[in-house]
């Protein structure tokens, strides 16, 4: 039996005059995701995205799983379309959901009539279809308050649709409606979660990773690329900028007080990320910083590291505890990769006694022996840009 997906819009329905822009972007995102799985027709009516396979070659199961990870959708259901008359609706329920009813102890029918030309009200549809199902399935009793299984009937403009319980969507806003931002992506747990959370607000994500060969290995780089690939399951394709950071870290080691190593390193990262980001249309930076988690994440430390940029810095994890972050990492599938023992450049030349309450004047004085601009320019000249998609082969 041919299936169709009904994808219900989330907070887009609350938009005003610009609602159409959000819907158009969501439709584009769904169409792009469906291309991998075959020929699908994607259209929006009545605050619902319809996804309909156009031939038998379409990978319906693969497309369904992809739809569950598209931002902008609050719920999803697989359904069967039929003619808008009671006999057709009843036959569709029996054919599509009959086996589920046979396995349930109780059921109810819940109907919605968007097409007001249909002669019965929503309650009338539920009573009529529910009565027929009760006769056909005597071992499954009617329970309108706490049913084990619910049959849904939606009478819409084009057809009637029958389906079982919906599943939650990814929520948020469609990718691309919130602009573009650059995420500082390390190999840890936090930054992929930060990228996911900002992407959920409709932001298109680009990433930058700082690579310090030979102090960090190729496996460490591959780990970060794999994390980026996993995040694209939700945000779509991503450009990852690989920045060679060895010379900068060695210059910091050779010319700066040890207690400021990490803070000066972070200042270089922020400024380089901003310069790459501005060239690529990014209007904000994203970091996985979490207040008080490490020495460089005190209020004072974040103030001096952020002082080198003039665009917003989004820190979605700032008030979360580690268990909350881990829960999200596990949910989005990045945790197992994040905890692989391949360390990134943030662990190189770590000071024994880092400064936790620095002032901006102290940092400027600590950097005075460095030719910041020359170091930054050299790093920018050798940036490697890699486009990553979820259907790419895994990097690890």
Distance of CA 257 to the CA centre of its chain: 40
Using one digit for the tens of pLDDT, what is the confidence trace for 30-47? 999 999 999 999 999 989
Residue 299 has pLDDT above 60, yes or no: yes
Domain ranges of the chain: 4-170, 180-388
180-388 matches 4-170 in CATH topology: no
The topology (CATH level 3) of 180-388 is Rossmann fold (3.40.50)
Look at residue 349 and tell me whether its pLDDT is greater than 90: no
DSSP 338-386: HTSS---GGGTT--SS--SS--HHHHHHHTTTS-HHHHHHHHHHTPEEE
Q: Per-residue pLDDT for 241 more than 60? A: yes
- Prediction pTM value: 0.93
Q: Quick one: how far is CA 376 from the chain centroid? A: 31
User: Does pLDDT of 22 surpass 80?
Assistant: yes
Q: By three-state DSSP, how is residue 161 classified?
A: strand
Residue 284, pLDDT > 90, answer: yes
Q: Which CATH topology does 4-170 take? A: VC0802-like (3.30.2130)
Instruction: Give me the mean pLDDT over the 133-150 stretch.
Output: 96
| Spatial contact of 42 and 30, defined as CB atoms under 8 Å apart | yes
Contacts of 93 (CB under 8 A, 6+ apart): 129, 133, 151, 153, 162
Q: Which two tokens stand for residue 378?
A: 């050299």
């Amino acid at each position: 039996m041919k299936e169709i997906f009904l994808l219900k819009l989330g907070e887009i329905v609350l938009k005003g005059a610009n609602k159409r822009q959000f819907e158009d972007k969501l439709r584009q995102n769904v169409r792009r995701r469906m291309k991998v799985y075959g020929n699908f027709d994607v259209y929006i009516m009545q605050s619902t995205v319809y996804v309909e396979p156009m031939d038998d070659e379409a990978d319906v199961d693969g497309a369904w799983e992809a739809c569950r990870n598209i931002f902008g959708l609050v719920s999803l259901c697989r359904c069967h379309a039929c003619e808008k008359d009671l006999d057709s609706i009843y036959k569709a329920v029996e054919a599509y959901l009959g086996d589920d009813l046979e396995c349930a102890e109780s059921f109810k029918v819940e109907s919605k009539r968007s097409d007001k030309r249909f002669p019965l009200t929503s309650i009338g549809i539920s009573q009529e279809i529910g009565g027929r199902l009760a006769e056909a399935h005597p071992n499954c009793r009617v329970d309108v308050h706490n049913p084990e299984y619910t049959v849904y009937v939606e009478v819409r403009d084009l057809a009637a649709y029958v389906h079982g319980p919906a599943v939650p969507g990814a929520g948020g806003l469609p990718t691309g409606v919130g602009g573009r931002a650059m995420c500082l992506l390390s190999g840890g747990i936090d930054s992929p979660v930060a990228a996911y959370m900002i992407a959920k607000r409709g932001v298109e994500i680009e990433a930058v990773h700082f690579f310090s060969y030979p102090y960090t290995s190729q496996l460490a780089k591959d780990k970060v690329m794999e994390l980026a690939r996993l995040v694209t399951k939700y945000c779509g394709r991503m450009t990852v900028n690989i920045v060679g950071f060895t010379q900068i870290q060695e210059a910091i080691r050779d010319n700066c007080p040890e207690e400021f190593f990490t803070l000066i390193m972070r200042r270089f990262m922020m400024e380089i990320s901003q310069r790459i980001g501005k060239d690529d249309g990014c209007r904000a930076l994203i970091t996985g910083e979490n207040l008080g988690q490490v020495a460089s994440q005190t209020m004072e430390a974040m103030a001096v590291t952020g002082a080198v940029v003039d665009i917003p810095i989004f820190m979605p994890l700032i008030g979360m505890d580690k268990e909350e972050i881990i829960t999200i990492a596990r949910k989005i599938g990045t945790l197992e990769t994040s905890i692989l023992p391949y360390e990134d450049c943030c662990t190189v030349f770590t000071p024994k006694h880092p400064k936790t309450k620095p002032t901006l004047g102290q940092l400027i004085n600590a950097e005075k022996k460095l030719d910041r601009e020359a170091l930054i320019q050299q790093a920018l000249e050798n940036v490697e840009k890699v486009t990553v998609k979820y259907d790419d082969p895994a990097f690890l």
